[in-house]
Structure formats: C-alpha cells, structure tokens
Chain A
Amino acid sequence: MIHFDNISKRYPGGHDALSRINLRLAKGQMAFLTGHSGAGKSTLLKLIAMIERPTRGHIFLDGVNLNNISNQKIPYIRRNIGIIFQNHHLLYDRPVFDNVAMPLIIQGYRHQEIRKRVRAALNQVGLLKKEKTAPITLSGGEQQRVGIARAIVHKPLLLLADEPTGNLDPELSLEIMQLFARFNQVGTTVLIASHDLDLIKQMGSPMISLQGGQISHNGLPFTL
C-alpha cells in the first residue's frame, strides 16, 4: 500500500527531517510509527498525504508514484486517504453531521447516500445521537471520534493518524485505538503516529521507530 523508496526530506533552512527512509506497508496492515517529537513522524505522514513533497526518493501509494502527481491532482490522491489529527480540525460553525459529511460532499455524493453513510460512520464511532450537536459542546474524546468518523466516512483505503490520542486520558486513548483496530479488521490500511509506547504495546500491532529522521527499528513483516 505504501512504499518509501530511499526518501529524504530536507526543509528549507537545511534541517533534515527524514533521511534515506525505506519502508513497505502492505495492504490491510496496521502499524504504529513512534519516536520522540522531532524524530520525523509527522513529516512521514505529511509526505504520504502530499502535504509535503520529498526532497529525494520516491513514494508509491497503491502503486502510484506520488512524484508524478501534479499539484492539481493532489485532491484525488487525498480522497483515498482518511487523515486524523491530534487537534481534530473540526469546523465549529456547523453541526457534527455537516462535519462528517464534508468528504462526501466534496466527492459529489447524492443527498440520500450522504445521509446514509454519515449515519453509518457516526454509528461506528458511537455518536449517532450527536449528529445535530455543535462540535464545541462535545468532550475531547467525542470530538476526536467525530474527526475519525469524518476520516472514514468515504471508506478510504488508507487511514493516517497523527497523535490521535495526544490529548486524551489512557482509557479514552485505548478506546480510540480499538476503534482503529476495528477499521483495520475490515480491510483498511492504518498507520498511526504515536509516542505512547504503553498503549502501542497493548495493541500488539507492528511498530516502526524513528530516531533523528531515520528508522531505528522496523517491526513490519517483510513484504515485497
């Protein structure tokens, strides 16, 4: 699903965020990305989501070389990815339903279809009753779940999460992680950046450790 071929990323100013990363994440795999802050976790996810472009090397996403994707085509790549952020990036000027519906509206789904899918997504994160609520009135954990519902509502092939439990207490964090595991069980590839080692160990999925922009440990099963 994801293939990093000798990827380096140098930010303007000379800071090397990633250097010579080689990585293969198989379809349907769930994995964790760990490391101290500044190790390059976020940069790695941003390269996949095409928020940043690599300085060197090639990234293949489901066989597509992202270097060949023009800026105009980036939206169509992103439609196959669900992204979850630490600060969930919800829009507070509209209710939960409208937040979750955004990816479907963008992709031009029909009204009835949107209604059906948003309900299904909210049901999966256990927030069906909150569809008309303003996100600001929800708790941190609930807001994160709305963010997850928005990321999975269009059934993406790949789910990326950047510190999704950063602001949550251990119990809620585990709940969120179990939610990701459930999506993984139905075939979605999941890559989660987190520094919460205890939580990761509880989950039992393979772990990739980054240190100073390089892979220090790769627990992924070998794939071609």
Chain B
Amino acid sequence: MRHRPPGKTRFSAYFGNHLRVSMTSLSRLYAQPIASLMTALVIAIALALPVGLYIALDNVGQLSSDWDGSTQISLFLHTHVEERTAQKLMQRLEKHKNIKKIELIGKEKGLEQFREISGFGDALKYLNSNPLPIVLVVHPQFNNNQPDRTSHLVKELGKNKLVELAQLDVQWVKRLYTFLEIANRVILGLSTMLAIAVLLIIGNTIRLDIQNRREEIEVSKLIGASDAFIRRPFLYTGIWYGAMGGALAWIITQISLLFMANPIHKLALLYHSDFRLSGLGVENTLLLILFSCLLGLVGSWIAVSRHLKEIEPS
C-alpha cells in the first residue's frame, strides 16, 4: 500500500533534499546572526586555544630541529698538534660515513674569533704565545634529531689520540626534547577536554533548537517523516556550527600570529637568527575545519538521538 515516486526521481531528490536541508539550516542560523555568531565564537575560542598551543609547540620544535640540524661536534686537538697534521686528520675524517663536513679553525683564526666574541681582546695582548688549540668543527651526517647516534659519534671521535676533547651538549638537547614531549601531552590532554567542551556546547545548542521546533517535529512525524528526515536539519545545523567555529578559530589564530610575529622576529634578530613564526598552513587549516565540522556532527547527533525520541505526536 505504498505509493512512491519512481526510483530515479527519488535518488536525485535525495541529494536535492540534502542540499536544500543544509541550505535551510544555514539560513536559519543566518536569521539569528548574533546568537549564531556567539555560539560559533565560543566554539572558536575553545578550538583556537589548543590550535595556538600546537602552533607554538610546532615552532619550538622547528627551532630546535634547526639547531640540531646544525649539531656540531667540536674536536679540540692537543695544543702540540701542527696545522699540517690537523689537515691530514681532517681529510681522513671527511671520508667517515657519519660525517658531512668538517671545518678547521686554526690557532690564529681561533684567537681572532675569541677576541671578537669574548671581549677579552686586550687581555690577550699580554700572552706570549697563542694558547688556543686547533679545533675541528664536525658536522654529522644525520639530519634528524638523533641524540643517541650523535653521542656515539662523539665518543668515537674522542678516542682519536690527536683529540684532547670532543664536545657536544647532548644533555641539553635531550632535556629540550623531553620537555617538548611533556608539552605535547599537556596540549593533547587540553585539546581532548576542549573538544568535549565543544561537543557539549553544540549538543546543548541543538537541544534548545529541537525544543523550539517541537511543533514542526510533531507535525513532520504525523505526516510520515522518517527519523532520518527529521534528524537531518539538526545534524546540518551542528555541522554548520562546527564549520563556523573552525573558520573563526582559524581567524583568531591568524590574528594572534600577526600580533606576535613582529616582537618574535625582533627577538630572533637579537639572537642572529632569521627565525619567523610559521602558521597553520593550508593542510592543517583544512584539517582544523574538517575536525570542527566533525565535532559539530557528533555533538548534534548526541543531542538529536537523545531528544528526538521524546517528541511524539499525541
């Protein structure tokens, strides 16, 4: 006893219906711009916080990988080693598979650098001879952060009898990475909590929406609307809230970055670094918006599955 429109019509009507429902949901939000914007803004702030922290962490990680990428091992040779012997050692070590490049800093050049950097230039005049050893600055082959391999190389080079001291502050690098890992987990925990908060915000907004449209839901059920049909506009509303929240979160993050960029660049210049803050990037921006849409969908789904059952025609 069912009479339905023919199949093909039904199929295209299904997608037409989705499109229309999503647009109707959007225009409903637009009809109450302030209220919608405030909800979206709450979502945006909840999202922007972890995103901002993530960007900070990412930048610190990049900064430190820059340093580690140029990890240097300084080989202080014994003071009696001549320049020619040092040259030979350098040529030999350059063939080592774990070494990318070696710079030789001769006694004179070392003294010059020391004079420039230390500010003890005048004191040096009172020395009879140059007390500085020849230094080989070794750049290891590893690009990535591999503190273990690096320290292994340091040990190996330190065994050479021409070398008095092979030095690398591995401890410092290790500490930084441990710290970054902890920060990572803190941000992950915080993000999880804030994601749940977003779910609750959207869920609650949708719950109010369902209550406001009680009559419409009742009538729809009476004239034969399926649960999926009734659910749909609310799910789209959730997705739209998510999308707007995500987009606003992105805007908030970009503004914060612009706000921070100048002083950070200045600070970096003071350290003779060309470091600049990097933002979210296209991929992560899309990911952010996709994720917030998903949160919107899940949040509204929870609200809808809980509250639609309560409304039955009587």
Chain A residues with CB under 8 Å of chain B are 49, 51, 61-64, 72, 75-81, 83, 89, 91, 93, 102-103, 105-111, 113, 150, 155, 157
Q: Are B224 and A108 in contact (CB under 8 A)?
A: no
| A188 and B99 alpha carbons, distance in the complex (Å) | 92
Q: Is the Cβ of A150 less than 8 Å from the Cβ of B1?
A: no
Bound-complex Cα distance A78 to B312 (A): 14
Select which of B5, B229, B314 is within 8 A of A110 by beta carbon.
Answer: B5
Query: Which listed residue, B14, B215, B218, B227, touches A108 by the CB 8 Å rule?
Result: B14
- Which residues on A sit within 8 Å (CB–CB) of B1? 61-64, 80, 157
Measured CA separation A75–B221 after assembly (Å) = 7
Q: Which single residue of chain B is at the shortest CB-CB distance from A89?
A: B219
Chain B 276-314 interface mask (CB, 8 Å, partner A; 1/0) = 000000000000000000000000000000000000111
A111 to B12, CA, bound (A): 11
B-side interface residues, number (CB < 8 Å): 28
Q: Name the one of A62, A78, A113 contacting B224, with C-beta atoms under 8 angstroms.
A: A78
Residues of A within 8 A of B226 (CB): 72, 75-76, 106
**Does B161 reach chain A (CB closer than 8 Å)?**
no
Q: How far is the CA of A155 from the CA of B10 in the complex (A)?
A: 17
Contacts of B13 in A (CB 8 A): 108-110
In the bound complex, residues from chain A placing their C-beta under 8 Å from that of B92 are: none
Nearest 6 CB-CB pairings of A with B: A79-B224, A78-B224, A108-B13, A62-B1, A106-B225, A75-B224
Tell me whether A110 and B313 are in contact (CB under 8 A). no
Cα(A79)–Cα(B9), bound, Å: 18
**A49 touching B4, Cβ below 8 Å:** no
Q: Who on chain B is nearest to A114 by CB?
A: B13
Q: Which residues of B contact A89 (CB under 8 A)?
A: 215, 218-219, 222
